[in-house]
Amino acid sequence: GIEHGAHMAMYHADEALVVTNPEVSSVRDSDRVLGLMASRSRRAERGEEPIKEHLVVTRYSAERVLRGDMLSLEDILEILGIPLLGLIPESQSVLLASNEG
């Protein structure tokens, strides 16, 4: 589930940066968070303008999209329905460095 701290941040947010991977489970979780922000934020409770949402997609690989291993950018944008702020490509170097610590 989503921790208390995340709920508090969403509740008081004016803008949100949603970061997701191009995997079904990650996009599904992001969609759930967007739903919570739309319905349970301070802005929603007060009937104010919604939280401004921006999307960053990480670990994106056009090659893996072509193989059907991950969602395409178009699919992600259609599912989440928020504007894309940035696309960060998958990097083997980053993965190796992360695993080394």
pTM over 0.85: yes
Q: pLDDT class for 96, splitting at 50, 70, 90? A: confident
Q: Which domains does the chain have, with CATH numbers?
A: 4-100 (3.40.50.300)
Q: Is the pLDDT of residue 24 over 90?
A: yes
Q: Is the pLDDT of residue 48 over 80?
A: yes
Q: Is the pLDDT of residue 100 over 90?
A: no
Mean pLDDT of 27-31: 97
Q: What are phi and psi of 79, to 5 degrees?
A: -70, -45
Find residue 52's DSSP bridge partners. Answer: 15
CB count within 10 Å of CB 98 equals 9
Q: Is the pLDDT of residue 43 over 90?
A: yes
Whole-angstrom Cα distance, residue 6 to residue 79?
22
Whole-angstrom Cα distance, residue 70 to residue 66?
8
